[in-house]
Amino acid sequence: MTWKKFSGEVINSSILEEVEKTIEREYEAGNKLKVCIGTDSQVKGNTTDFATVIVFLREQKGGFMFIHQERSTQKMSIKERMLTEVQKSIETAYTLCDLLDLYDVDLEVHADINTNPQFKSNAALHEAMGYILSMGFVFKAKPEAFASSACANKMVQ
């Protein structure tokens, strides 16, 4: 799985090693961190592009992110696509959660799912929320889910 920095620079070490180096560097600089993980997707013809982001928020000092992009040709309903986004976010969160706990970094998993029933993505809200919460993660949906609806969204357009 290839991760990149926002600059496009490829991360050559494992994402776990890179996140640990990042936390240590930020703590040495005196920054308190929070991590938000989210995934968004965009259907383009017969392909679906997914982007998963790990957003590092520095308390009152902005933030930055790491990005993983992938493409699928599997045909999916809107609900399947929303739950696939959530699955990708949870896989990333699960990879990092022990490390984040070790450094006492708060973690949120963001779902690009609208809480308003008038939107199609709302069909997956209850399953997504149950999935994320049952894994022990803090869940955020739109409009609070900026990691997926703003950050990851920019990477799939």
Domains of the chain: 3-156 (3.30.420)
Where does the pLDDT of residue 153 fall: very low under 50, low under 70, confident under 90, or very high at 90 and above? Answer: confident
For tokens 């739950």, what's the residue?
A: 83
Going by the DSSP 8-state scheme, the letter that residue 136 receives in this structure is T
Supply the pLDDT for residue 120. 87
Among all chains, which residue has been given the structure tokens 């180096």? Answer: 21
For the chain, list the strands marked E by DSSP: 3-5, 10-11, 33-44, 47-58, 63-72, 106-111, 138-140
pLDDT average, residue stretch 26-51: 96
Q: What is the structure's pLDDT at 101?
A: 97
Residues 6+ apart with CB under 8 A from 135: 90, 93, 94, 109
pLDDT digits (tens, 9 = 90+) for 82-132: 999 999 999 999 999 999 999 999 999 999 998 898 988 888 999 999 999
Q: Could you report the per-residue pLDDT of 24-33, keeping only the tens digit for each?
A: 999 999 999 9
pLDDT at residue number 121: 86
